[in-house]
Structure 1
């Protein structure tokens, strides 16, 4: 399927490489907590007027058209712990405060014109900002978030929560995130997809969690891309005919062993690309044949398109199995008809 899917697959390859470097993730997080507890004196680094002057750009007209104000602030990698000085800058639309040491961000409360807010790689344990009327992109990866509760943004389209400590999807609902299109939650602590209720969501990236159960997927009726790589999925329950737009599913490095499970994906009318590399099923001799027999509309498995010979062989195998099933059913019916009635 297309260039977009190839890009998604490349992103997943990079994600896997990064994950291999973080095999001791849980141990690392424990160490991080210990460091936090042992911290005796935290050096405060406030945002100063000098840093602000260096960080502001993109002069634009204000809403009434009678004045001009800076609308972009890029103050990443400054080791900041305090951004109180930002409170008067109410016309900012794009803020990048990534790679600092922020724990409190309520100085942003009054910045009602925000479109993009990047807070990756800070020390946030909660996100308690009010809804912003225009915010479309929110990046919170590599923080200490344990919950999604509190993230309610009416126009948000992209939310990045990668590399946190979130163990539940509670809060991912239409009333709080009605326009969300792309959600990234790689490398958290999820065990299920339960409570994801975002009917406008198109792209869901939840690789490298501990997911064993696929639940509430029927709520995602506009989803086109689902990345579940590096989880613990064995049973493919949860997919629904309501998912009429889902085209790409990545299940690489999960625990799928039974080819019969693949039949549960046949309810997806638009599924065209599937990734099953590094699953027990992918190690079997008839791997590609079994997948295509179960999902005859599939165009690509892993990185390879199905060729015409494979499609022809799979169709013949389908017919053979169907005929065999009919014969078995007929034999069973004949045996039942010829069986003597039980003695009373």
Structure 2
């Protein structure tokens, strides 16, 4: 195990000799490139959060990490899906954090990541639901349609709440009901 968080490290060049390393915590440093970790194939947990990583290595790099289950990359500088696409080669990655990155601010970010990494069970400290997987695979939608549905759902909920608790609307509903019953008699 290596725990070198907040040590102002700029690279991981000396880690290539750590062949049996299983847990590596390098959070809150100034690391930009992790290529030297390629020989640490026995890693189970890798914490690179709070660094200055802008792009991750390719698929071939991650295929070697057959035991890697937990990967923390939050609070880094990855800004597009292409910067993290290599993670799809990691065969047993169960939990990944990418929150507080420019990528996580993009629309449908979560759905893209979830459907790119098949072994993933949790993303950004939230368990992945079946709905998230099925929604994107079976019902891909344009962001505009998704937003319109969301707006309609919010407006509907506001109308429901207002109809239940607005004294004016309650009185109007009662009067209309009374007048309708009077006419139908």
- Cα deviation for residue 290 of structure 1 reads 1.4
CA distance in 1, matches of 2:117, 2:84: 7
CA distance in 2, matches of 1:264, 1:195: 23
Residue 190 of structure 1 is matched in structure 2 by 9
Which fold has the larger relative contact order, with Cα–Cα distance below 8 Å and residues 6 or more apart in sequence?
Answer: 2
* C-alpha deviation, 1:313, in angstroms: 2.2
Q: CA deviation at 1:293?
A: 2.3
Q: Deviations along 1:40-83, whole A, 9 cap, x unmatched? A: xxxxxxxxxxxxxxxxxxxxxxxxxxxxxxxxxxxxxxxxxxxx
Matched, 1:292 2:114: yes
Q: Give the aligned partner of residue 135 of structure 2.
A: 313
Question: Helix, strand or coil for the counterpart of 1:209?
Answer: coil
My pick for the range that moved more, 267-276 or 190-199, is: 190-199
Q: Contact 2:70 / 2:94 at 8 angstroms: preserved in 1?
A: yes
Q: 1:294 Cα shift? A: 1.8
Partners in 2 of 1:220 and 1:275 — Cα distance?
A: 20
Equivalent residue, structure 2, for 1:200: 20
- Relative to structure 1, the CA distance from residue 308 to residue 207 in structure 2 (aligned partners, 3 Å threshold; closer, same or farther) is same
Q: In the TM superposition, what whole-angstrom CA distance separates every residue of 1:300-326 from its partner, at most 9, and x where no partner exists?
A: 0011111111111233379xxxxxxxx
3-state SS of paired residue (2:114):
helix
Distance 1:316 1:250 in 2: 29
Alignment of 1:270-285 (within 5 A): 270-285=92-107
Question: 1:104-253 maps to which residues of 2 (within 5 A)?
Answer: 182-196=1-15, 197-237=17-57, 239-253=61-75
Does the CA-based 8 Å contact 2:55-2:84 persist in structure 1? Answer: no
- Is residue 2:82 matched to residue 1:264? no
Q: CA RMSD, aligned part only?
A: 1.6
Aligned to 2:41, the other structure's residue is in SS state: coil
Unpaired stretches in structure 1, ≥5 consecutive residues: 1-181, 319-344
Structure 2 unpaired stretches of 5+: 141-185
SS of the equivalent of 2:20 reads: coil
2:21 and 2:56 map into 1 onto residues whose CA distance is: 20
Greater Cα shift, 205-214 or 191-200 = 191-200
Conserved in 2, the CA contact under 8 Å of 1:256 and 1:281? yes
Q: Number of residues paired by the alignment?
A: 137
SS at match of 1:240: helix
Question: What is the TM-score when the length of structure 2 is the normalising length?
Answer: 0.69
SS at match of 1:274: strand
